[in-house]
Amino acid sequence: MYVVRPVELADIAALEALAAVPMPGVHTLPKTREKILAMIELSIASFAAHVDIPSEEAYLLVLESEDKSIVGTAAMFAAAGSNGTYFSFRNDVIQQVSRDLNISHSVHALTLCSELTGYSQLSSFYVGEREHGTPEAALLSRARLMFAVLAPHRFADRFFVPLAGVTDSEGGSPFWDALGRKFFQMDFLDAERTIGGARNRTLIVELMPHYPVYVPLLPGDAQAAMGQIHPSGELAFNLLTAEGFEADDYIDIFDGGPILQAHKNSLRTFTGALQRRVSTSVEIPDRGREPQLRYAVSSGSEHNFRAVITHCPSLESQLSVALSAEVQEALNVAEGDTVICVRI
Q: List the x/- string, 254-293, binding to a second copy by CB under 8 A.
A: ---------x-xx----x----------------------
Cβ at position 272, least distance to a second copy in Å = 10
Q: List the x/- string, 207-246, binding to another protein by CB under 8 A.
A: xxxxxxxx-xxx----------------------------
CB 40 within 8 A of CB 60: yes
Other residues' Cβ atoms within 10 Å of the Cβ of residue 326? 12
Q: Distances in Å between the alpha carbon of 309 and those of 140, 225, 305?
A: 10, 36, 14
Instruction: Indicate the residue among 60 and 341 with the shorter CB distance to a second copy.
Output: 341
Instruction: Indicate the residue among 273 and 309 with the shorter CB distance to a second copy.
Output: 273
Instruction: Indicate the residue among 18 and 253 with the shorter CB distance to a second copy.
Output: 253
Among 90, 112, 116, 115, CA closest to 211: 112
CB 277 within 8 A of CB 338: yes
- Strand pairing partners for 261? 160, 246
Cβ at position 150, least distance to a second copy in Å = 20
Residue 267, exposed/middle/buried by CB under 10 A (0-12, 13-18, 19+)?
Answer: buried
Among 206, 182, 211, CA closest to 195: 206
CB 290 within 8 A of CB 340: no
Q: Which stretch binds another protein (CB under 8 A): 75-83, 100-108, 115-123, 293-301?
A: 100-108
Q: List the x/- string, 56-95, binding to another protein by CB under 8 A.
A: --------------------------------------x-
Instruction: Indicate the residue among 99 and 289 with the shorter CB distance to another protein.
Output: 99
Three-state SS for 321? strand
Which residues of this protein are in contact with another protein, per CB under 8 A? 94, 96-101, 103, 105, 107, 109, 182-186, 194, 202-203, 205-214, 216-218
| Chain contacts with a second copy (rule: CB under 8 A) | 84-85, 92-95, 97-99, 104, 106, 113-115, 117, 202, 205, 244, 263, 265-266, 271, 316-317
